[in-house]
Chain A
């Protein structure tokens, strides 16, 4: 699919979603649809879909132990074993996984191959994707956690802590959260990377652009609420707590921007289970990462291992007995 077409179509869909919320709430006044029913449905789809997908993966067996080894395996006692890259025990596997999940260690390895005249290749470490990725994921995580302050009363200490650390640099009033900036920046960079790097542009599909644009839409609408439209946070909290307690009340005078924000989040939640964002769960189940390189020491069982047709020694000897005897090879049957 033409890349510009893919970007445009994703953009139009996101704009369409914004308009739906604006018209739905602003003109038709479907506040409870957008404030209650859609979020509930979306959240249910998210939970059920997420579990569904994970169960679907979990049901497929792991027939072989196929870790990708990234360093010296455990061998002779005096040989230095790379415990993280070639884990031998479950504990070592867990550490490898934690570093993958929290630090994107494999992505950190990234090197860029460059073609020069001759022809000649050179390789240089390239950490941009890693950097954008880390920035994106951690600001995303912080923002999600910070939202818990709307759903809880009293707000737990650690949620307050996140907010206060984050807003430490009080640039504007009201507090402009540092992560908001980081988040918009990272999502933008990830998006630009996709459009600018020719190879990445070539492999990208509308379903690569869409989630990024949707997330950008969420971020922008969130910041607009905070910095420009000054949505009444007390009212937001009233709605959020009501939703969490399954007795929702829809406060009046919550601006349309809020509903745009909520609607986009709902769409994202419902979209996640059916999209590549499931990598968040999938990474934990990846057999090249979550298995130990102890293949020869601990036998792995394949649940569907079945007998196959082999060529037995007896058949082999039958084929070659005379010749074997001629050259003095011992035979089992004279």
Chain B
């Protein structure tokens, strides 16, 4: 991440004033720092998708197939027939503007085409031209326009400037979900080979190796064992690491961000410690080593192609049910798409906690439970021995991921867990949390280095709320349960709120967890001295 090129936060120019020119006349400029680089041909080729080639958005020639226009229009027609959501959202917007200032990209950038309603109009205008009588006859008068290269380029710019967070859909009187329109818009762009590498590379990697980073099975073992070593250093306990083990009761699937880089790794260590302490009969999988699914940012078909592994692996290993780690967009796929796409999972059993006997009725069909559902149930039943004072240096607030909040309603489970393991917890202002939460600015594949200015702008409303609790309550830790967040919020805090660290929930669970036979803990999982242990640390250093 490079924040060097950016102006200081106080000098970042934001202006809600609309330009003088009508939006259809306002040209799209690909300004450095505000767009993502195209997908490398090999990543498109590997997935067997359209038009792999080298190209650049800033060049005139995008090397499109000659009949690109027909491809898109045919694709549009097909999707109008396949998705009631899409067809309806094309027809019923009244342009009331209720969604306009709900999008973090508009709030942090002021570009009117980042108002959800205009983002949708970019596509709607083409729909009107080709699929409505009024549009055919009256054209511009009724907001219809031809699909030409300028329009296509505009789509690419703005559909890759939407993080599919669904905040707009919460406020729309008809529930028009611009995320759904963006998803379809990206699907159309993919038909002619317009996609970004930060999405397409994880997609290709995940397809081949099972995870976004392209780590082969032996590499995973290395990484995971490294975490086991770290845990031993902190606790003196060498935790189990069951991998690809047939006959386990539970398959655990988490986003690769959890084990790839700090601060995700601490959360990963948290799972290992929790499961070890419980004596959970479970296994990791190298084949299904990714809970995340960048297909969500590509096309519905790609979601399904990548998601298929989870049930397939559960079946192969013969587990009873599946547990999912801390991730946002993963949870949308698991909650809203998996069962429909790759179910029914009739070879699995209705999830039941082996320790509390709780049957997870809400996962009766899909057979997959979220880790905070699992852990909050354990805590409620007093199954964990916890010492929250070990987290006393942490003054925490919690960021709801867009997808767990607005596409699942998973809001109170994480809060329940956090409050049980951490004594200092402060909510950010209402209107910025729970279902009204603001995006980190880098979801949906936009959390890449080259897009840094847009990320910092898009993350501004979130950071602004963090700053508020930092100043009011001295908050120094931004908790989240999302692997993308842990990466993007870290950069965001660097820029907007430098003294706030980012971390996961199960990191704090593991810090607080008193394990049988553990050494006296001197440090937390990050290797920082626990409260009251600072002196001992120094003594050792001497």
Contacts and interface: CB of A to CB of B under 8 A. Distances in A.
A203 B464 contact: no
Interface in B338-390: 339-341, 343-344, 358, 360-366, 368, 373, 376-377, 380
B83 interface: yes
Most buried by B among A73, A104, A274, A302: A73
Given A57-B88, A323-B217, A296 B362 contact: yes
The main secondary structure of chain A at its interface with chain B is loop
B362 A310 contact: no
A333 interface: no
A80 B376 CA distance: 13
Most buried by B among A82, A286, A305: A286
Given A323-B216, A327-B218, A327-B221, A288 B177 contact: yes
A199 interface: yes
Contact of A326 (B117, B132, B218, B412): B218
A60 B405 contact: no
Given A109-B171, A202-B112, A274-B134, A73 B85 contact: no
Contact of B217 (A82, A310, A327): A327
Given A86-B409, A297-B361, A302-B340, A53 B95 contact: no
A110 B171 contact: yes
Contacts of B14: 115, 119
Interface in A85-124: 85-86, 88, 100, 104, 106-107, 109-113, 115, 118-121, 123
Most buried by A among B174, B209, B218, B245: B174
A299 B173 contact: no
A208 B94 contact: yes
Contacts of B96: 107, 129, 133, 200
A93 B265 CA distance: 40
Contacts of A62: 83-85
Given A60-B87, A203-B117, A300-B339, A121 B107 contact: yes
Interface stretch (A64-72, A158-166, A168-176): A64-72
Nearest to A53: B91
A107 B98 contact: yes
A104 B171 CA distance: 10
A304 to B, nearest CB: 6
A22 B208 CA distance: 73
Nearest to A297: B364
Given A75-B362, A286-B88, A119 B10 contact: yes
B22 A2 contact: yes
A105 to B, nearest CB: 9
Nearest to B47: A309
Given A69-B409, A76-B376, A64 B170 contact: no
Interface string A180-218: 000000000000000001111111111110000000000
Given A274-B132, A276-B93, A283 B173 contact: yes
Interface string B35-57: 00000000000001000000000
A74 B362 contact: yes
Nearest to A116: B464
B313 A313 contact: yes
A136 B454 CA distance: 39
A118 B408 contact: no
Contacts of B336: 64-66, 295
Interface string B79-101: 01111111110011111111011
A1 interface: yes
Nearest to A132: B96
Contacts of B18: 198-199, 201-202
Interface in B425-483: 429, 431-432, 434-436, 460-461, 464
A100 B86 CA distance: 20
Contacts of A2: 22
B380 to A, nearest CB: 6
B143 A60 contact: no
B208 A119 contact: no
Contacts of A293: 408-409
Given A56-B87, A109-B171, A297-B361, 6 more contacts: A63-B83, A203-B121, A205-B95, A276-B93, A286-B92, A323-B217
Interface of A: 1-2, 9, 53, 56-58, 60-66, 68-76, 78-80, 82, 85-86, 88, 100, 104, 106-107, 109-113, 115, 118-121, 123, 129, 133, 197-208, 274, 276, 278-279, 282-283, 285-289, 293-302, 304-305, 308-313, 316-317, 319-320, 323-324, 326-330, 332
10 contacts: A56-B87, A68-B407, A69-B408, A119-B9, A282-B174, A299-B343, A309-B48, A316-B287, A329-B221, A329-B243
